[in-house]
Structure 1
Amino acid sequence: MTGPAPAEPDPPQNDSPRPELTPPSASELVGAALGSAAKRAGLDPSSGQSTGHVVWHAMGGWRGILESVLPGLIFIVVYTVTIDPATGDGDLWLSLGLSLGIAAIFTIARLIARQPVNAALGGLIAAAVAAAFAAFTGDASNNFIPGFITNIAYGSAFLVSALIGWSLIGLTVGFLMGEGTAWRRDRRKRRVFFWLAIAWAALFAARLIVQLPLYFAGDVTALGTLKLVMGLPLFAPLVAVTWLAVRALYPPQTKAAEPPSE
């Protein structure tokens, strides 16, 4: 008769303290947020896409271009066509109504097609806010105030980030490329990201420099026209330049050639 089996020894206890998780820093949080937004917009340097494809995707294709341009274009055309020679003013309510209507149509069309509505909904909200400024004051030129505020905010953010050494471009790319803030230890990357942020800040500043005098002069037609001209036509080339500069810093990894099968 055999006795009971000997009890197995207890596993050794590891009494060493567990390492505490370090909370993400503010720069990491900003980089993650910007990187996620850039990836949704198709601006991922690790994707290996062509420059033309990236720029086209960033603009949203034909539909995205129409959604961003057409509401403003309709406002300017209708307001200009309906200008009363006696007063020098156009039909503000008709211009605002048609502009908001086309933005709403774009949003509804995306909802019906069950497509992402971020761009169209953003355009509708922007058109509604701009229309509110003009409607409450009765001044068509105030339709452009939200755009001025946006340019000031974005331009200031890019400029400050470049001057303090934490370029928003660098934070975005660092997250997308999986290196976090390690790019700040590379002098070449720091320099490129600095000048890219300065270039974006200059774009927003140029819009303000050109458009603000027209706003104070009350020239709605010229102001609206220049807003369209300085929108996507300047945005697209700068996206291309940014993409090419980043790809030069992070060239695509070529796969090693596989040995021929016997």
Structure 2
Amino acid sequence: MTPPPAAEASASDLLGAALGGAARRAGLDPAEGASTGHVVWAAMGGWRGVLESVLPGLVFIVVYTLTIDPDTGEGDLWLSLGLSVGIAAVFTAARLIARQPVTAAIGGLIAAGVAAAFAAFTGEASNNFIPGFITNALYGSAFLISALIGWSLIGLAAGFLMGEGTAWRADKRKRRVYFWLAIAWASLFAARLLVQLPLYFADNVTALGTLKLVMGLPLFAPLVAVTWLAVRALYPRGESNEVTAAE
């Protein structure tokens, strides 16, 4: 195999380090030997992470649905948005007070705020979901493109975590596994768009919000587990240490 140009290799190393670092902070380090359940739970951030991810959106859709006016068919947009953003702000404040990592909470607050801004400025509750569509499209495209050009984002992250950099590209088995893992993640984001966009255009806010929750963590968690198990299977116990020691 022809080695990649130095600039390309350097860029891939930097990207791999960034992705691997993010995965490690999320508890997704195959070299640690943690159980699958522990890894998935860590990736979701535990109970607090689950609540921070789910509760703002759940409150929005529940309040909006419960306040729908039979005559207009619309719910109380401002109350729904206010409570949703307010809950995200409470989570962030709680982490700040407890001096805990606030990255996830701040990310949730920003996401809730941006989504609320879309809905508030247009007066359309369904526009609260536009940022999510954009995020899914960007993530899905990134995973798909990385797979098609042979530089799977999963492979870059795993290569950094396992101490082999981009050496996995010389292994056909690893390249094949990382290709399909990237395709699987791209498919998840594509499925969300395929299912949710028709509901958006139909202005079915209740169904859209419900399916967004259903296609969130319930699909994310199993795919994290599959990805982690697949990566672990590629590296027999102790192999990562041997690779690192040989470098």
The TM-score normalised by the length of structure 1 is 0.87
1:150 is the counterpart of 2:135: yes
Partner of 1:213: 198
Q: Aligned pair count?
A: 234
Corresponding residue SS for 2:155? helix
Which protein has the larger Cα radius of gyration, Structure 1 or Structure 2?
Answer: 1
Q: Distance between the aligned counterparts of 1:153 and 1:35, measured in 2?
A: 19
Partner of 1:175: 160
1:236 is the counterpart of 2:221: yes
Please state how far the C-alpha of 1:23 moved relative to its aligned partner: 10
1:140-176 alpha-carbon deviations (Å, 9 max, x no partner): 0000000000000000000000001000000000011
Q: Distance between the aligned counterparts of 1:150 and 1:238, measured in 2?
A: 18
Q: Which runs of 5+ in 2 are unaligned?
A: 1-5, 240-247
Of 56, 78, 81, 1:96 maps to 81
Residues 182 and 24 of structure 1, relative CA distance in 2, 3 Å threshold: closer
1:26 is the counterpart of 2:11: yes
Partner of 2:68: 83
Please state how far the C-alpha of 1:22 moved relative to its aligned partner: 8.9
Partner of 2:124: 139
Identical aligned residues as a percent: 83
Corresponding residue SS for 1:115? coil
Partner of 1:3: none
Q: Distance between the aligned counterparts of 1:22 and 1:211, measured in 2?
A: 40
Greater Cα shift, 166-175 or 22-31: 22-31
Partner of 2:149: 164
Structure with the higher fraction of residues in helix conformation = 2
Residues 84 and 36 of structure 1, relative CA distance in 2, 3 Å threshold: same
1:38-84 alpha-carbon deviations (Å, 9 max, x no partner): 11101111111111000000000000000000000000000000000
Please state how far the C-alpha of 1:251 moved relative to its aligned partner: 2.3
Please state how far the C-alpha of 1:253 moved relative to its aligned partner: 2.3
Please state how far the C-alpha of 1:220 moved relative to its aligned partner: 0.2
Paired letter, 2:103: N
Q: Distance between the aligned counterparts of 2:167 and 2:216, measured in 1?
A: 33
Runs of 4+ more than 6 Å apart: 21-24
Of 110, 128, 131, 2:113 maps to 128
Of 15, 20, 34, 1:35 maps to 20
1:65 is the counterpart of 2:66: no
Q: Distance between the aligned counterparts of 1:65 and 1:71, measured in 2?
A: 11
Partner of 2:242: none
Paired letter, 1:135: A
Partner of 2:94: 109
The one of the two structures with greater contact order (alpha-carbon pairs below 8 A, sep at least 6) is: 2
Partner of 1:14: none
Q: Distance between the aligned counterparts of 2:17 and 2:170, measured in 1?
A: 19
Q: Distance between the aligned counterparts of 1:191 and 1:120, measured in 2?
A: 35
1:16-48 alpha-carbon deviations (Å, 9 max, x no partner): xxxxx9996111111011011111101111111
The TM-score normalised by the length of structure 2 is 0.93
Q: Which runs of 5+ in 1 are unaligned?
A: 1-20, 255-262
Residues 101 and 182 of structure 1, relative CA distance in 2, 3 Å threshold: same
Corresponding residue SS for 1:25? helix
Q: Distance between the aligned counterparts of 1:219 and 1:57, measured in 2?
A: 34
Residues 23 and 195 of structure 1, relative CA distance in 2, 3 Å threshold: closer
1:44 is the counterpart of 2:29: yes
Please state how far the C-alpha of 1:252 moved relative to its aligned partner: 1.8
- Taking only aligned residues, the RMSD between alpha carbons, in angstroms, comes to 1.4
1:199 is the counterpart of 2:184: yes
